[in-house]
């Protein structure tokens, strides 16, 4: 009730916008990509979904990347519900995405232990929320202990690492997507 099944991104409008920005005809894009004009027309009108290979050919013809076209794509629906999954095995570390697709933010849930030796540095801002358990976070040379319900906000560019200190800890991480220019260069 109220759920939408996962809808594919509609890449057609992004392809059309890019083609028009370059003042190219469908015939020129077809020639550069090796794909047919009718197929490209169907893609632009969202009547055909290109394979990954075809999307890369179109992107090359438009002097961009498939990732950039997907980032500029329109979602097929504006509401998407991601249901909780049944854990495959209790106690096993896992990560699951809380937001599907290529959007302006990423949200992930980490359950269980985490590689404490791995250091992160994201270009944009990030928020960590401890849903269950406890974690230790090293950021900017200081150590922080967060427990259930605590949050930590990290400005883009802050080097950090973290580890769970209690079994079955769940941490939700929400970050502005790397492809978004959300922050200017910060001088330290």
Lowest mean pLDDT among 14-28, 129-143, 148-162, 174-188: 174-188
Task: Report pLDDT digits (tens) over 54-111.
Answer: 999 999 999 998 888 887 776 655 666 777 876 555 566 778 778 776 667 788 888 8
Evaluate if pTM is beyond 0.75: no
Selection from 122, 123, 127, 89 nearest residue 109 by Cα: 127
- CA distance linking residue 83 with residue 166, whole number of Å: 25
- CA distance linking residue 130 with residue 149, whole number of Å: 5
- CA distance linking residue 72 with residue 77, whole number of Å: 15
Maximum average pLDDT range among 24-38, 100-114, 120-134, 168-182: 24-38
Selection from 71, 113, 75, 69 nearest residue 91 by Cα: 113
């Amino acid at each position: 009730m109220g759920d939408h099944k996962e809808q594919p991104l509609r890449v057609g409008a992004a392809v059309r916008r890019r083609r028009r920005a370059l003042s190219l005809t469908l015939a020129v894009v077809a020639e550069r990509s090796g794909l047919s004009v009718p197929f490209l027309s169907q893609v632009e009108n969202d009547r055909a979904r290109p394979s990954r290979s075809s999307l890369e050919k179109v992107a090359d013809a438009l002097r961009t990347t498939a990732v950039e076209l997907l980032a500029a794509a329109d979602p097929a629906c504006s509401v998407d519900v991601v249901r909780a999954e049944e854990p495959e095995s209790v106690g096993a570390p896992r990560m699951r995405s809380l937001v599907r697709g290529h959007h302006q933010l990423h949200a992930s849930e980490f359950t269980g232990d985490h590689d404490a030796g791995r250091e992160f540095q994201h270009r944009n801002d990030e928020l960590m929320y401890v849903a269950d358990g406890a974690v230790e976070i090293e950021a900017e040379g200081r150590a922080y202990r967060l427990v259930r319900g605590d949050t930590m906000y990290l400005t883009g560019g802050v080097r950090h690492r973290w580890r769970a200190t209690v079994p079955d800890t769940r941490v939700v991480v929400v970050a502005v997507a790397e492809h978004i220019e959300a922050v200017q260069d910060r001088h330290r």
